[in-house]
Amino acid sequence: MLNKGLSEDELFTFFSHKKREDLDHDYILSSMCTIPHSVAVRAHCMFMETNLGDPGLFPGTASLEQILVGRFGSLFHCPEAGGYATSGGTESNIQALRLAKAIRCTDGHGHNGQPNIVVPESAHFSFKKACDILGLGMRRVPLRKDFRMDADRAAEQIDNNTIALVGVAGTTEYGMVDPIADLATIALEHDLFFHVDAAFGGMVIPFLDDPVPFDFALPGVTSIAVDPHKMGMSTIPCGCLLTRDPGILNTLNIDTPYLTVKQEYTLGGTRPGAPVAGALAVLDYLGVEGMKAVVAGCMKNTERLIAGMETLGIPRAATPDVNVATFTCDRGRMPGPWKVSWTCRKHLRIVCMPHVHRDRIEAFLKDIGETHA
């Protein structure tokens, strides 16, 4: 602590200086987050002090959270789905597996060994954290050549100690949607909790012209993670965990003696209402039509980027289902100041988020064309 406080001027001069050290979004091609929509920023500021961890004090804000859950439930073909706003995909995934574990332990399933989950090799690293915290073994299923999970090999990995099956709708690295319908059938056959990680794709796939089934329209899907703070253009942090059966969330209830509610099932304690208002603001401001326009723009830019790179002799690694483009490309020749990313398999990865406008794609193509000439 400073002994004597700074003047507001001194403080914000310092902060402005620090803010300028951050990268300019004009050059960020590597992130699944984006510049928040202006209505999200406005809503966020309006609900800045609200705490969803003590909802009895903020019933209005708490009802916004329920409206948000309802919006996603409808979008995902289950208007009566339950859920709550998380801090993002990581918390949603941890909580989904916590639920799966709790349900397996209460419904009479005995376990002779360590409980395990079956996930695609492409699963987000949050599942490693979840397995560590929950004491679960992680069985990673190899991908097919098209970078989607191999459903047959997933079925082979399931045993009596398996508590959940996970599929990804919009993988972080390659933007692929796993064969969710096949996995849902396998989950039903084995009476398994099936969690769909749609942290990224959940705000993309429903708005595509020809969406692949990935949600509660498939009877085997138990829960879905979706992140408004990615393609939902809300302020950070905002994720959402949805469950087909709203009642199962109560499996995680613990007593909360000194709060306005007596029990709760979330992972956090104090939880921000501001990004939840921000997330709902974007959904209701844009509506399905507006979101379709945003997603169509991002997909068009992804296609333009892939076509432009291939013209330069830099081939795609995959043909993605969502707006993530990957390439087989020489790492040493990346033009500055562009910020790109690299996958585990050493492919160049670019996420065509809403802030990555068409002119940014053209500028990048021009620059990389020069280093690859």
Ligand X SMILES: *Cc1c(COP(=O)(O)O)cnc(C)c1O
The residues of the shown chain that bind ligand X, judged by CB under 6 A, are 32, 88-90, 93, 124, 126, 168, 172, 197, 199-200, 227, 239
Q: Which is nearer to ligand X, 282 or 368 (CB)?
A: 282
Measuring CA to CA, how many Å separate 76 from each of 178, 252, 264, 353? 17, 23, 24, 22
In angstroms, give the least distance from the CB of 227 to ligand X: 5
Q: Which is nearer to ligand X, 197 or 264 (CB)?
A: 197
d(CA 97, CA 163): 8
Please give the backbone phi and psi of residue 314, each rounded to the nearest 5 degrees, phi first.
-110, 100
Q: Is 37 helix (H, G, I), strand (E, B) or coil?
A: coil
How many CA atoms, within 13 angstroms, populate the side-chain half-sphere of residue 40?
23
Q: Which is nearer to ligand X, 122 or 161 (CB)?
A: 122
Q: Which is nearer to ligand X, 32 or 276 (CB)?
A: 32
In angstroms, give the least distance from the CB of 313 to ligand X: 29
Closest CA to 278 of 243, 241, 240, 237: 237
d(CA 231, CA 295): 8
Q: Which is nearer to ligand X, 126 or 266 (CB)?
A: 126
Q: What is the DSSP string of 53-121?
A: TSGGG-HHHHHHHHHHHHHHHHHTT-TT-EEEEESSHHHHHHHHHHHHHHHHHHTT---SS--EEEEET
In angstroms, give the least distance from the CB of 88 to ligand X: 2
- Contacts for 288 with CB less than 8 Å, ≥ 6 apart: 207
Whether the CB-CB separation of 67 and 244 falls below 8 Å is answered with no
In angstroms, give the least distance from the CB of 159 to ligand X: 25
Q: Which is nearer to ligand X, 73 or 228 (CB)?
A: 228
Closest CA to 351 of 316, 324, 312, 321: 324
In angstroms, give the least distance from the CB of 203 to ligand X: 11
In angstroms, give the least distance from the CB of 60 to ligand X: 26
d(CA 236, CA 246): 25
In angstroms, give the least distance from the CB of 200 to ligand X: 4
Whether the CB-CB separation of 261 and 81 falls below 8 Å is answered with no
Whether the CB-CB separation of 323 and 351 falls below 8 Å is answered with yes
In angstroms, give the least distance from the CB of 229 to ligand X: 6
Q: Which is nearer to ligand X, 54 or 227 (CB)?
A: 227
Q: Which is nearer to ligand X, 168 or 241 (CB)?
A: 168
Whether the CB-CB separation of 326 and 317 falls below 8 Å is answered with yes
In angstroms, give the least distance from the CB of 86 to ligand X: 8
The tokens of 73 are what? 């439930």
